[in-house]
Amino acid sequence: MATYAIGDIQGCFDELKSLLELISFSIEKDQLWFAGDIVNRGPKSLETLRFIKSLGHSAITVLGNHDIHLLASAQSNKSHRKDTFGEIFSAPDRLELLDWLRKLPLFHHDTTLNFSMLHAGVAPQWDLQKTQLLANEVERILRSNRYSEYLAQIYGNEPTCWTDELMGWDRLRCITNYFTRLRFCDESGRMNFSEKGPPGTQPEGLVPWYQLQDRRTKNQKIIFGHWSTHKLADNDFLFGQNNVFPLDTGCLWGGELTALRLEDEKIFQVPAINH
Ligand SMILES: [Mn+2]
């Protein structure tokens, strides 16, 4: 029995199958955690969605920005040029798949394993309990009959900094952006959405979200994805440093698909197949 957290798949279903072979995944014995962005840009988003849904309680998945973008695109019938949602929109089981996706959480915490998982990051002012409560605020709307209003309001960068006073859609958009889009922020936790390079390449005044000195979750182990240029280790970062475990190793962009076994923090990887 083991628990494996897997980074951003983005429709790279063949690599996911190879990775599950590598770890000898057993649906009866093992549990898989997915750090979000299971769909888009890659070639097999529909198969990836169907497969992860079919895992039932053997999988725990948090929503990424591309997953939310799929829900919003299905709603508005609009998508971007680079999106690869076509086969999902014409699938006979699309309504069940989208309904399942909409009800996934933004945040997962396991007290036994002492690991948390989210797609991108957290605001420095949030402790573990607040992180859970704020994720629940967004999850409640997405699971309610007001989800289409939320999806219509979700795009945009403002407000870029968390305060407890935020209300309404601004509050929900800000929470969603921390959980699903954050990489760098300033000392006060104000999000930057334009810098996408690895840690160390940012302009002065910005830091990776997990390096903020006063971050209230800094004693909690956090698994995240989203940051495909973030290496598992380089001069500026060692895996597990700051209690964070970045798992998006850019499979979509020709890198690897990565799994972390939570019980012993061992890494497993398969290379990207050229599409
Ligand atoms: Mn992402």
* Residue 234 pLDDT: 80
How far is ligand 1, taken at its centre, from the CA of residue 156, in Å?
15
How far is ligand 1, taken at its centre, from the CA of residue 260, in Å?
18
How far is ligand 1, taken at its centre, from the CA of residue 68, in Å?
10
* Residue 37 pLDDT: 98
* Residue 245 pLDDT: 97
How far is ligand 1, taken at its centre, from the CA of residue 3, in Å?
22
**Domain span at 63:** 3-271
**Residue 156: is its pLDDT beyond 80?**
yes
pLDDT digits (tens, 9 = 90+) for 210-240: 999 999 999 999 999 999 999 888 877 889 9
How far is ligand 1, taken at its centre, from the CA of residue 36, in Å?
7
pLDDT digits (tens, 9 = 90+) for 28-87: 999 999 999 999 999 999 999 999 999 999 999 999 999 999 999 999 977 788 889 999
**Residue 275: is its pLDDT beyond 70?**
no
How far is ligand 1, taken at its centre, from the CA of residue 224, in Å?
10
How far is ligand 1, taken at its centre, from the CA of residue 11, in Å?
13
> What is the total count of domains within the chain?
1
pLDDT digits (tens, 9 = 90+) for 91-147: 999 999 999 999 999 999 999 999 999 999 999 999 999 999 999 999 999 999 999
How far is ligand 1, taken at its centre, from the CA of residue 120, in Å?
7
The two three-digit tokens of residue 260, written as one number: 């972390």
How far is ligand 1, taken at its centre, from the CA of residue 251, in Å?
13
How far is ligand 1, taken at its centre, from the CA of residue 206, in Å?
19
How far is ligand 1, taken at its centre, from the CA of residue 188, in Å?
23
Calculate mean pLDDT across residues 165-183: 98
pTM of the shown model: 0.97
**Residue 274: is its pLDDT beyond 90?**
no
The CATH number of residue 152's host domain is 3.60.21.10
* Residue 77 pLDDT: 77
Question: pLDDT grade, residue 246 (50/70/90)?
Answer: very high
How far is ligand 1, taken at its centre, from the CA of residue 10, in Å?
9
In the structure, ligand 1 is a single-atom ion and the residues with CB under 5 Å from it are 37, 64-65, 226
